[in-house]
Amino acid sequence: MDEPKRPKPPAGRRQTGVPPSVRLSPMQEAWRAYVEHTLYLCDTCRCADGSPCPPAEELYRTWRRVAEESIRKVWGTPESRAGLPPGQ
């Protein structure tokens, strides 16, 4: 009951996770928030027989939205690629 949610790793292994000094992209931040919630913070999501809780579903939708926006920034829209050769 008093067990920490994130126990220390065994000797010789380093702590997982992102150090505070590292700056992630918005897409990586959204994914990190979703994964951290579902794997470490939410008992409902961690239950093998359960389904994700509403906040986890919202975090996943946020990640999808941010990912799609990021892809559009890199690749543009189909209309903006109309003059490119096939496959590009």
pLDDT, tens digit, for every residue of 13-54?
A: 655 666 777 788 899 999 999 999 988 888 888 887 778 899
Structure tokens at 21: 């000094």
Predicted local confidence at residue 61, as pLDDT:
96
Q: Is the pLDDT of residue 59 over 90?
A: yes
pTM of the complete model beyond 0.85: no
The DSSP secondary-structure symbol of 37 reads I
Check: CB of residue 27 under 8 Å from CB of residue 66. Answer: yes
